[in-house]
A and B are shown apart, each in its own frame.
Chain A
Amino acid sequence: MATTNGTARDGRARKGDARPDRRAAHDRGRDARRPWDAIVIGGGHNGLTNAAYLAKAGLRTLVLERRPIVGGAAITEELRPGFWFTTFSYALSLLRPDIIQELELVKHGFFPILMPTTFCPMENGDYLLFGMDHQENVQEIARHSRHDADAYDAFNHDIARVCQAIKPLLDAAPPDIFSDDPEELVALASLGQRFRGLDKKVLHDAVRLLTGSAADFLDDYFESDILKGYLASSSIIGTKVGPYSQGSGLVLLYHFIGEHDGEFGAWAFHKRGNGGFTQVLARAAEAFGVEIRLESPVERVITRDGRATGVALADGTEYHAPIVVSALDPRRTFLELVEPRELPTDLVETIRRFRFQGTSAKVNFALDGYPRYPALGDRTDQYRGFTNIGPSMEYLERAFDDAKYGWFSKRPYLDTAIQSTVDPDMAPPGKAVMSCFVQYAPYHLRESDWDTEREHLGDTVQATIESFFPGFGDLVLQREIRTPLDIERTVGLSEGNIFAGEFLAPQMYFFRPAPGWSNYRTPIDGYYQCGSGTHPGGCVMGAPGKLAAQRILRDRDRGRGSGERGERDGVRGESPAAAAART
């Protein structure tokens, strides 16, 4: 199986115009007979990343995507002529910079555009507007609180130091603390070493953030409600916590670890949205030799004697490969694609307990022009980045209160962006598209369901925007509402959780998705996981895909499949050449 890059590529008579989204299902028969080295289930950003790394290492890799488009939750769709909507995921920040380089994404069109402002309207008609100039931002904060002006610098410095310390953890697989493997012990020791070397304050801040509430942390620095509301907004995104909940600190930290062009906490808008990004990723993957098959829903992983041997589609087509990688979330990976009977009981229980409880929605608008914010008159430059409707921690917490009792927020938190200001190709001249992330919208509604409440959610969101931007409703040409149920149905993310599983301490690092299975393996030999439900988690990060590929390639070189079985069978220690011959 140890095919060189050359043979792998030569084996495929690829036509220049054979774009993945146009390949038809009739290729299946031919594909099914081909010998694949690896099959990746799911063409979201992690599946594509994983496949690209595997193909780069010389594996003949096939990606099977259920939908007619790659990208998973990171897609851009032209829902109205000339108006491009980032249907779900809408900006980039946590994407690992090494992936950009290693997969040569720039060559394939990677183009992250700066979002130079952050605009935070207030309920009294005032606002907080951040731009790219530090001193101007200091003055703007001082308008709300002189005390907070330099406290903001202190906060940013402190949190950047924590990010600097924690960031390497995103770029490496967690050591397996439950394993006796010497390699894992070495990894664990070096992790301990890393923390031993940390400054006391940095370590303490890190623990406070990883375990505590965002409100406690922010209260230590600031007095201004609008500033705290803005910062605390990052502590709830995608997660069923309020800023006062323990655990919101972790979400806050995650969003600050994101970076754009070397700046922590900065976001970028990819050309044509995150769908533009996943198209780039697909092109890069194909350039490394990955084959992508659309409209190919995998129904189950085929196993034989505890070993994955391929996959079967819903229509019965089978593809065979010694390596099968699931980019789907943990529930689908462990409970749907394989027989739970084949798995250890404690793993099955942990995965059943794994908390998804999606709590966010999207409402996207096509607009006839720019909204008007009365205090800024006819200015529109405030819309060049995010407009954050979450004017205080109390506002956010009250929005959360509704969700606690099974309903969507009466006054939701909204993270909006008029993306056509940054990328004019997203809308016709003078018109606009507005992405609007909505929280809280719990997957489980009390005594109702999302098919009934969809439009009500849209109305609530629109009314909330209208309350800050009078006349907004008159601009709306079209509205697209995506509830957690729609996210689940369309993308396949269980309960519509955008991170493929909540960002809660018991579900992170060593424990993502389950104790002993944070190493991208599964108990089934040759069956791996690479989705956002694995470390380091969701957001358009790509790290799970890359780290899983590293694991797969290392296992392959070491001559074992995955899980413990390989070791028991005495396969471990086999030379790579022997392993290659065997597979």
Chain B
Amino acid sequence: MIRTTPFHERTSALNETGLWEHWANHLVATRYQMSDKFEYFAVRNSAGLFDTSPLFKYRVHGPDAERFLAGLLIRDVRTCAVGHGQYTAWCDDRGYVVDDGVVLRHGRDEYSLTAAEASLAYLQSLAAGLDVGIDDVSAEWAILAVQGPRSRDLLTALAPEVGKLGYFDVSAATIGGVPVTVSRTGYTGDLGYEIWAPSDGALAVWDAVWQAGRGRGVIPFGMTALYMARIEAGLLLRDVDFHSSRFAWTDAERATPIELGLAWMVRGIEADDRAFVGRDAIRREVAQRTSRWRLGGLMVDWRDYDRIYRAAGLIPPKDHTPIQDEYYVYDDELNQLGFATSQMYSPALQRHIALARVPLDRTPGSRVKLELGVNHRYEYFDAEVTRLPLFNPPRRTA
């Protein structure tokens, strides 16, 4: 049976389209109104509300909580002070990514960890012998993401402590009379926050935020707008940008953190005294330079794009709808170099962009060709390899 989230009573009233998607067996709006692009602009120009509740959430607690997480997560969680969080990933012992998520440290021995897919058995299997509790609290918590340039003003009006939160900081607060946890996190690459509310208080929190946002251009946004924002921000999506090594059939499906552009997470791994899962493999990858490719951005050459479509008798489309499917990337001789995992026309960047796996020698600034169908045949578009994120406003971390 498909389930609904604790916000459903509100989100269903606001969803004018009748369009829903399934996310972790929950209904989530594809879009709330006829224009998903307008929802995207709310995120980039005012603030948007997103129901992130279906995310898998785990409570990790007990005297060995830090030790457990330090042995699991590739970023050193010991450097994460109480009241902070980290975007992180975890690997198998061959150094391939199992999943990514956000860990929040609420107290010395009290953490929460999010995951894209169900992970309890896996987490528990790594906790053997440690004095740590791992509970699946997915259903206990609703998460309301408030994302966009006005999110800070909006939430500060409700809970002044939010105004002081730095990037990836966490704070307890009360919103709508409900004790909540607010973290300065999100999946849009913009200034934004996520409010963790107990499920039975979710509606009160929603109502308080909704009320505070009135007259400020605040609207809910659905999955399409979220995907648009995440592609611009170069944020990874499991089963699109990578497959969990646990369930991959071949190494071609697997990816290492460095290949996914997360090398910054394992910087200093030579000096890292933690024995976390995958450490040795990652060290070897660094030392022996065995990374196979890198996930980077592509900016399609706009002149080439226009030229090819016009030559085909077509008006060059600029469609913002995210395509999260494989399209192949070539060199000038049409030898395959890699593939794009996701692509779209970015309204903010005014360019066609993609996330793509490209060989290591295709460093930022070098050129590749992206294969796209035009008039029912493949054409090859010049594109420039760029660093991620493609869109990164200063307000995101300021």
Q: Residues of A at under 8 Å CB distance from B?
A: 97-98, 100-101, 105-106, 110-114, 116, 131-133, 136, 160, 164, 261-264, 271, 381, 384, 420-425, 429-431
Nearest 5 CB-CB pairs, A to B? A262-B318, A430-B215, A424-B217, A132-B35, A133-B34
Contact at B350–A110, with CB atoms within 8 Å? yes
Stretch of B185-193, B341-349, B362-370 that contacts chain A = B341-349
B216 at the interface (CB under 8 A from A): yes
Q: Is the CB of B316 within 8 A of A262?
A: yes
Question: Is A132 within 8 A of B34, CB to CB?
Answer: yes
| Complex: A106 Cα to B318 Cα, angstroms | 16
> Do residues B348 and A261 form an inter-chain contact, with CB atoms below 8 A?
no
B150 lies within 8 A of chain A by Cβ = yes
Least CB distance from B43 to A in Å reads: 12
The CA of A40 and the CA of B349, in the complex, are separated in Å by 29
How many Å lie between the Cα of A271 and that of B38 in the bound state? 14
**Within 8 Å CB of B319, what residues of A?**
262
**What residues on A are CB-neighbors of B46 within 8 Å?**
424
List the B side residues contacting A164 at CB < 8 Å. Answer: 315
Q: Are B347 and A114 in contact (CB-based, < 8 A)?
A: yes
CB of A384 to closest CB in B, whole Å: 7
Query: Which of B45, B216, B320 lies in contact with A113, CB distance below 8 A?
Result: B45
Q: A261-B318, A424-B150 are in contact. Are A114 and B37 (CB under 8 A)?
A: yes
Is the CB–CB distance between A261 and B345 below 8 Å? yes
Q: Among B38, B216, B317, B349, point to the contact of A424 (Cβ < 8 A).
A: B216
A356 → B minimal CB distance (Å): 34
A423-B45 in contact (CB<8A) = yes
Give the total number of A-B pairs whose CB atoms are below 8 A apart: 77
Whether the Cβ atoms of A136 and B34 lie closer than 8 Å is yes
Query: Is B38 in contact with A114, judged by CB distance below 8 angstroms?
Result: yes
Most buried by B among A132, A261, A381, A422: A261
Q: With A100-B350, A101-B350 as known contacts, state yes or no: A132 contacts B38, CB within 8 Å.
A: yes
Are A116 and B38 in contact (CB-based, < 8 A)?
A: yes
The answer to whether B33 has its CB under 8 Å from any CB of chain A is: yes
Binding site for A on B (CB under 8 A): 33-35, 37-38, 41, 44-46, 150, 214-217, 302-303, 315-320, 345, 347-351
Let me know if B34 and A262 touch, CB within 8 A: no
Which residue of A105, A136, A425, A429 is within 8 Å of B215 (Cβ)?
A429
Q: Which of A132, A264, A423 contacts B37 (CB 8 A)?
A: A132
Is B349 touching A106 in the complex (CB atoms < 8 A)?
yes
Task: Beyond the given A114-B38, A132-B38, A133-B35, please list 7 additional residue pairs across the A-B interface where CB-CB is below 8 A.
Answer: A97-B302, A98-B303, A112-B347, A116-B35, A131-B35, A424-B150, A424-B217
Least Cβ distance of A432 to chain B in Å?
Answer: 9
- For the complex, give the distance between the alpha carbons of A116 and B33 in Å: 10
Q: Are A263 and B318 in contact (CB under 8 A)?
A: yes
> Which residues of B have CB within 8 Å of A112?
347, 350
Are B349's CB and A114's CB within 8 A? no
C-alpha gap A133/B214 in the complex (Å): 25
Q: How many angstroms between the C-alpha atoms of A262 and B316 in the bound complex?
A: 7
Return chain A residues, CB-CB under 8 Å to B33. Answer: 131, 381
B350 close to A106 (CB less than 8 A): yes
C-alpha gap A430/B347 in the complex (Å): 27
**Given A101-B302, A262-B318, A423-B45, A131 and B350 touching (CB < 8 A)?**
no
Q: What residues of chain A lie closer than 8 Å to B351, measured between beta carbons?
A: 101, 106
B217's partner among A136, A262, A421 (CB-CB below 8 A) is: A421
Taking CB atoms, residues of chain A closer than 8 Å to B44 are 111
Closest chain B CB from A568 CB (angstroms): 38
Closest CB of chain A to B381's CB: distance in Å?
Answer: 15
Q: Assess whether A113 is in contact with B302, with CB atoms less than 8 Å apart.
A: no
Residue on A nearest B349 in the bound complex, by CB: A106
How far is B349's CA from A423's CA once the two chains are assembled, in angstroms?
18
Within the complex, what minimum Cβ distance (angstroms) separates A6 from chain B? 21
Measured CA separation A71–B216 after assembly (Å): 28
Identify 17 residue pairs between A and B in the complex whose beta-carbon atoms are under 8 Å apart, listed by A's number.
A97-B350, A98-B302, A106-B349, A106-B351, A110-B350, A111-B45, A114-B38, A116-B34, A131-B33, A132-B35, A132-B38, A133-B34, A133-B35, A381-B33, A422-B41, A429-B216, A430-B215
Report the bound CA distance from A111 to B40 in whole Å: 13
The reply to whether A113 and B217 form a contact with Cβ atoms under 8 Å apart is no
B41 touches A113 (CB 8 A): yes
Contact yes or no, B38 A384, CB < 8 A? yes
Q: How far is the CB of A165 from chain B (nearest CB, A)?
A: 11
What chain B residues lie within 8 Å of A431 (beta carbons)? 215
Chain A residues within an 8 Å CB radius of B320: 261
Residue numbers in A under 8 Å from B350 (CB-CB): 97, 100-101, 105-106, 110, 112, 261
Q: How far is the CA of A561 from the CA of B281 in the complex (A)?
A: 68
Chain B contacts for A422, CB-based, 8 A = 41, 217
Q: Are A262 and B35 in contact (CB under 8 A)?
A: no
Q: Say how far B28's CB is from chain A's closest CB, in angstroms.
A: 20
Nearest B residue to A369 by beta-carbon distance?
A: B215
Distance, CA A381 to CA B217, complexed state (A): 10
Chain B residues with Cβ below 8 Å from A136 are 34
What's the Cα separation between A384 and B33 when bound, in Å?
12
Residues of B within 8 A of A97 (CB): 302, 350
Least Cβ–Cβ distance between B287 and chain A, in angstroms: 38
A111 and B317 contacting across the interface, CB-CB below 8 Å: no
Contact A261 B347 (CB under 8 A): yes
Which residues of B are found within 8 Å of A423, using beta-carbon distances? 45, 217
CA–CA, A424 and B213, complex, Å? 11
Q: Are A264 and B315 in contact (CB under 8 A)?
A: yes
Q: Please report the C-alpha to C-alpha distance between residue A290 and residue B349 in the assembled complex, in whole angstroms.
A: 24
Determine the chain A residues whose CB is within 8 A of the CB of B45 once the complex forms. Answer: 111, 113, 271, 423-425
The smallest beta-carbon distance between B220 and chain A, in angstroms, is 13
Name the residue of chain A whose CB is nearest to the CB of B218. A424
- Kindly provide the distance from the CB of B5 to the nearest chain A CB, expressed in whole angstroms: 24
CB distance from A345 to the nearest CB of B (A): 43
Instruction: Report the minimal beta-carbon distance from B280 to chain A, rounded to whole angstroms.
Output: 43
Q: CA of A420 to CA of B41 in the docked complex: distance in angstroms? A: 13
* Contact between B315 and A160, CB atoms less than 8 A apart: yes
Q: In whole Å, how far is B83's beta carbon from the nearest beta carbon of chain A?
A: 30
Partner of B35, one of A105, A114, A421, A425: A114
Q: CA A393 – CA B349 in complex, angstroms?
A: 39
Residues on B with beta carbons closer than 8 Å to the beta carbon of A132 = 34-35, 37-38
**Are A131 and B317 touching (Cβ within 8 A)?**
no
Q: Residue on B with the closest CB to A381?
A: B33
Residues of A within 8 A of B318 (CB): 261-263
Chain B contacts for A101, CB-based, 8 A: 302-303, 350-351
Cα distance, A261 to B35, chains bound together (Å) = 14
A116 and B215 within 8 A (CB)? no
- The residue of chain A having its C-beta at the shortest distance from the C-beta of B313 within the complex is A164
A384 CA / B215 CA spacing, docked (Å): 13
Could you tell me the distance in whole angstroms from the C-beta of B384 to the nearest C-beta in chain A? Answer: 12
Instruction: Please indicate the chain A residues that have their CB under 8 angstroms from the CB of B348 in the complex.
Output: 106, 111
Name the B residues within 8 Å of A261 (CB-CB).
318, 320, 345, 347, 350
Min CB–CB distance A150 → chain B (angstroms): 20
Are B302 and A262 in contact (CB-based, < 8 A)?
Answer: no
Q: How far is the CA of A381 from the CA of B34 in the complex (A)?
A: 11
Per the bound structure, the CA–CA distance linking A311 and B163 in Å amounts to 53
CA distance A105 to B302 in the complex (A): 14
- Residues of chain B within 8 A (CB-CB) of A263 are 318
| Contact residues in B for A384 (Cβ distance below 8 Å) | 38
Return chain A residues, CB-CB under 8 Å to B34.
116, 131-133, 136
CA distance A131 to B38 in the complex (A): 11
In the complex, the answer to whether A430 meets B41 with C-beta atoms within 8 Å is no
B315 pairs with A262, CB closer than 8 A? yes
Are A114 and B345 touching (Cβ within 8 A)? no
Q: Once the chains are docked, how many angstroms separate the CA of A98 from the CA of B350?
A: 11
